[in-house]
Structure 1
């Protein structure tokens, strides 16, 4: 698995993509996500990082993780 860490501010929250450690996976209630392997798309409150993370999605490949991150962080096109 490639070392990948992406983050961006979106509406007062920080959206991230990265692998998760077993500890972080277990702390965020990762049951039902098929284990701690893969890339996780998650967010946390930028003003209160102690509140923990919320997993939004899981991607099995680098390409899928990058695509999900792009979709969540893309600036809207104004006409």
Structure 2
């Protein structure tokens, strides 16, 4: 990972991130088809047996990445 813009804890050892990723990390995640530049949305897990990262998508621009960060910061907790 080159530059993490934001991280959000999802609980249970899972985190959601927006960051730039190295070519090797992108290739290891099987996401070469997304290209190597830009900001990726991905999940990490600290649970036993988890393997690296799961790339969920790619922000269409730096502005879109910052908008996702804004949305995360204003989200309301969900009542159980």
Normalization by structure 2: what TM-score? 0.72
RMSD over aligned CA atoms reads: 2.6
Moved over 6 A (4+): none
Please list every run of 5 or more consecutive structure 1 residues that lacks an aligned counterpart in the other structure. none
Aligned runs of 1:37-76 on 2, under 5 Å? 37-48=37-48, 51-71=51-71, 74-76=75-77
Cα shift readout 1:1-47 (whole Å, capped 9, x = no counterpart) = xx5521110132100000000110111001321x1110000001133
Contiguous gaps of at least 5 residues in structure 2: none
Q: How many residues align?
A: 75
Q: Hey, which of these two has a bigger chunk of strand by percent? A: 2
Higher relative contact order (CA 8 A, sep 6+): 1
